Amino acid sequence: MQEFCSFSLNSLKSWLEQSGEKSFRAPQIFDWIYNKGATSFEEMTNLSKPLREKLAASFRFPALKLIRTLESEDGETIKYLWELADGQRVESVLIMSGTRRTVCVSSQVGCPARCAFCASGREGLIRNLSTAEIVEQVLHIDRTLKVKGERVSHIVYMGMGEPMENYDAVMESIYLFNDPNAFHISQRRITVSTVGVVEGIERLAKEELAVNLVLSLHAPNQHLRKKIIPYARKYALEEILMAMDRYALETKRDITYEYTLLAGINDRSQHAEELTRLLSGKQCTVNLIPYNPVEGLNLRRPTKEAIEGFRDILVSAGITTTWRYTKGKDIAAACGQLAVQKREPLALVSPV
């Protein structure tokens, strides 16, 4: 049985035609699933009974089961834990900020990048998520928002996993998020975060969609970066930065570099100075994320003074720099934190 939410509108039209049905039924079915909140094909009353039965016999929907939700103290962040058909679990986070309703989605179970500061990477990659397993994270959250007259407005691929290592499913999900017949979320409101898979960045630049791209940089040179992101051994930092530059040029999108600050490892003034040289002349933003301590990892968050000193060096060099702590309202900024929360059911908020 195929998962319904892995189908694009065109692939559903083809399926209908091959099943002896009219292709104009496809937008009607999409409307039921993505706008009217249907939870079964039986509810689709403008379709014939035989077609409804055919759909129910051919497609699995839903592909995710909600296990639990957890709300942050400030009420601005809700974490969702999902169970997949094979019993694996992934998480998503809804961040409510002003009128923005951002969903941080997972793209894999586990992660191949094995970043030193992240629990997701400790066990490596378990498996890729299907398109439906990515899409339904947003679909189910969108349905809960609709009850309040709201919709998901932004999507960030910053949950568990390296999106570029599950490229096809991630792209199919992005096309569905952007499709006016489904979620109709603007390309400018969709952000993909990567540790730097060069082939993926180059493929993304050739897509018809121009989404925002974030590189998890975390170090100003290859030597240190390999220690923080073991996966970084695969690509030279210069090669990754060139691919990012080409992406910015071809898509006219600004690039963001995320830099998790780890005390005594990558937070010294010489690191900041090296970073300014590395990013000199680039149209970009650096997002500083002070490390959020994780039990079992022998890493520390830098002092406020060290963070401010690091930021000041970047700003003095003319680099646009933002600085965010990981707490309820901005939890999505901390790539990899979701897996930690999975093992610690009550620890959503990490107060500064």
- Where does this chain bind ligand SF4 (CB under 6 A)? 111, 113-115, 118, 120-121, 160-162, 195, 216, 335-336
Residue 311 phi, psi (nearest 5)? -60, -45
Q: Active-site residue 284, yes or no?
A: no
| Cβ nearer to ligand SF4, comparing 44 with 113 | 113
**8-state DSSP, 302:** P
186 C-beta neighbours (distance < 10 Å), count: 12
* Annotation marks residue 335 as catalytic: yes
Residue 72, helix vs strand vs coil: coil
User: What's CA 124's distance to the chain center, in Å?
Assistant: 18
The residue among 178 and 216 lying less far from ligand SF4, judged by its C-beta, is 216
Cα within 13 Å of Cα(174), Cβ side = 25
- 190: tokens are 């969709």
Q: Report d(CA 260, CA 289) in Å as an integer.
A: 5
- Which residue, 13 or 327, is less far from ligand SF4 as judged by CB? 327
User: Would you say 118 or 332 has its CB closer to ligand SF4?
Assistant: 118
Q: Which of 268, 206, 281 is nearest to 241 (CA)?
A: 281
Q: In 3D, which of 267, 351, 273 has the Cα closest to residue 308?
A: 267
| Least spacing, CB of residue 192 vs ligand SF4, in Å | 12
Question: Which of 91, 162, 165, 172 is labelled catalytic?
Answer: 91
- By annotation, the residues acting in catalysis are 91, 335
